[in-house]
Amino acid sequence: MLGWFHRLGSPKTFFGMSQSWPKTFGLLSLVLLALGTVWGLLFAPPDYQQGHSVRIMYVHVPAAAVAQSCYLIMAISSAVFLIWNIKLADWAAKSMAPIGASLAFLVLITGAIWGKPTWGTWWVWDARLTSTLVLLLLYLGIIALRNALEEKGNDGRPCAVLALVGLVNLPIIKYSVDWWFTLHQPASFTLTEKPKMPPEMWIPLLLMAAGYYLFVFSVWTSRIRNEIISRERKTAWAKAWAGSQ
Amino acid sequence: MTFFYRTIAREFLNYRRKPGLFLNPLIFFGLVVFLFVVGLGPDEAKLNQAASIFILVASLLSVLMSAESAFDQDYEEGSLELVVVSSNSLLIYSLAKSLAHWVVTFLPLILLVPFIGIGLFLDVEQIWVLCLGILLVSPTIILLASVGAAMTISLPRNGVLIGLLVLPFYVPPLIFVTGLFEAALLKQNVFPYVYWLIGLLFLALGLAPSATSACLRIAAED
Amino acid sequence: MIFENLEDFFWMEGLGPFVLGAYFITFVVLGINLFFPMIREKRLRFELRNENYELRSDARFEE
């Protein structure tokens, strides 16, 4: 088990292994996303309260789940890097930050668009939107720290500590923001799905969620591969890769 | 334990030699409060409503100003490396640093708050609650700021970056303190907020020094 | 199929711009995510090939 882990941690092995991952998983994810989109836009029923604007749920809710998962994955990579000093894990954490940030941004934008017809305003200081905003700020902080460290030629260890501090803080932030929201506003109309969703609503949701996860995985591996190549550009196998196509 | 005291004593000596390190953030704090007042206008009711919150936010910002220089000198002159290679615990070192930082930033602030409060038409009870709130939340704030300072220690001109890294973590303490103020104003039960703030304080006390010392070790090794 | 014709689909009882706008922005964001690693890979390949070429031409020159 540990041997397998160490082999995965070697940039060369990982690079050889992941050759086809970005393309395969990317295509698979695009198929799922296309299916989910068509289903969500054309076949899913409108909501009895919100009408057609409920269709935004199919892009918004999975993005929110994935944006949080990205943070978790980034924090796990950071922990692996700090504990076993595997450089690949550092690069993996680095590659995940922009993806997570863009998804958190997407959640905020689609949330705002969803809010306009349902709440009547573009932005409500709703608990979910606010904690997503904090998540985005955390991502931006991590990216800023990473850039500053790389300018100085340092590795990402402080960044990894920051990611872990953020991981400890995220549940507290989420809880406190929930508290704050219920304190200041009576829970009126939330964007949550109702407990019993008909299958023609949750199947596209599931398709989109799976599509998002595979998409993130594809982009993540392709970013990691770029990172490996740019760091190992002096090696023979990196040169062979450049000449191969 | 003696190492703890020695570190604190050294910190105080340092602050006595360079009073600007703690006086400038205090002046900055006063200026931010003043700007808020100018922005809000001299209306008594308006000021009374918002005063506690902007005093608190101004204190957070001024702490970030002074956090920037918390470890800088030790890092540049090499005494940080000495602590890392010595048998002394980095945890104790960072705790002592935070305590000294708290004493020079928040202690004068808490003493200043009653006067500022009178100027902003707060009544006696509100001032008490404000002082209690700042007292409860300030150690958490200081500890988190020390993590930010330790992370960016090797970077030049790190002031803005510390704010970027640390401010999102100030959301929960800020929420519970403002909740405390509101509850006190409405004569509701304030204890849930007090317990929460104490809980956050202990969490920060348990985790922040280890994060700080991890970052200090990284910086010293590079 | 919920909608009877294309016009209904784009209008969605007045909500069309919101819904379709949200989907559009989603795919723009995903597209950007896809695009940046791709051009970086291309650039890296190009740079490494040039380095290879320079190395080889240097070697020839020394001969």
Amino acid identity of residue A66, one-letter, is: V
- Report the DSSP beta bridge partners of residue A228: none
| pLDDT band for position A188 (cuts 50, 70, 90) | very low
Decide if B164 contacts A134 (C-beta within 8 A): no
- Mean per-residue pLDDT of chain A: 87
Range of the domain at B89: 2-221
DSSP conformational letter for A153: T
Percent share of chain A, pLDDT over 70 = 93
A130 assigned to some structural domain: yes
Please provide the DSSP assignment of C21-59 as one string: HHHHHHHHHHHHHHHHHHHHHHHHHHHHHHHHHHHHHHH
Mean pLDDT of B188-200: 92
**Is residue A94 predicted with pLDDT exceeding 70?**
yes
Mean pLDDT of B181-205: 91
SS3 A155: coil
List the single residue in A161, A168, A169 with the smallest CB-CB distance to B215. Answer: A161
Range of the domain at C43: 20-62
| pLDDT band for position A203 (cuts 50, 70, 90) | confident
List the single residue in B165, B203, B219 with the smallest CB-CB distance to A145. Answer: B165
Q: Tell me which of B71, B146, B153, B164 to substitute to probe the interface with A (most A C-beta atoms closer than 10 Å).
A: B164
C51 assigned to some structural domain: yes
**Is residue A220 predicted with pLDDT exceeding 90?**
yes
C29 assigned to some structural domain: yes
Check residue B133 and give its pLDDT.
93
**Is residue A194 predicted with pLDDT exceeding 60?**
no
- Distance between B154 CA and the closest CA of chain A, angstroms: 8
pLDDT tens, residue by residue, A2-37: 677 777 778 888 888 888 899 999 999 999 999 999
Total domains present in chain A: 1
pLDDT tens, residue by residue, A120-152: 888 888 888 889 999 999 999 999 999 999 988
- Report the DSSP beta bridge partners of residue A47: A51
C28 touches chain A (CB under 8 A): no
Contacts of B222 in chain A (CB under 8 A): 154
Q: Which residue has the tokens 């809010």?
A: A115
C6 touches chain A (CB under 8 A): no
Contacts of A168 in chain B (CB under 8 A): 203, 207
Measured distance CA(B202)–CA(A216) in Å, rounded: 37
Burial (Cβ within 10 Å: 0-12, 13-18, ≥19) of residue B89:
middle
What would the two tokens of residue B25 be?
């953030």
CB contact under 8 A, A144 and B219: no
Measured distance CA(B19)–CA(B156) in Å, rounded: 22
Amino acid identity of residue B111, one-letter, is: L
| pLDDT band for position A1 (cuts 50, 70, 90) | low
C34 assigned to some structural domain: yes
**Is residue A241 predicted with pLDDT exceeding 90?**
no
Mean pLDDT of B183-187: 88
Total domains present in chain B: 1
Check residue B142 and give its pLDDT.
95
A6 assigned to some structural domain: no
pTM score, whole prediction? 0.91
- Distance between A42 CA and the closest CA of chain B, angstroms: 40
pLDDT tens, residue by residue, B29-80: 999 999 999 998 888 888 888 888 889 999 999 998 888 888 888 888 888 8
Going by C-beta distance under 8 Å and a sequence separation of 6 or more, which residues neighbour residue A77? A89, A90, A92, A93, A96
What would the two tokens of residue B108 be?
């004068």
CB contact under 8 A, B168 and A158: no
Check residue C59 and give its pLDDT.
59
ipTM: 0.90
Alpha helices in B41-89 (DSSP H): 44-67, 72-77, 79-85
pLDDT tens, residue by residue, C2-56: 777 777 777 767 777 888 999 999 999 999 999 999 999 999 988 888 876 666 6
C36 assigned to some structural domain: yes
Rounded to 5°, angle at Cα C18 from C12 and C19: 65
Measured distance CA(B158)–CA(B148) in Å, rounded: 10
A8 touches chain B (CB under 8 A): no
Mean pLDDT of B100-121: 91
Range of the domain at A162: 22-190+203-223
Total domains present in chain C: 1
- Distance between B157 CA and the closest CA of chain A, angstroms: 10
A167 assigned to some structural domain: yes
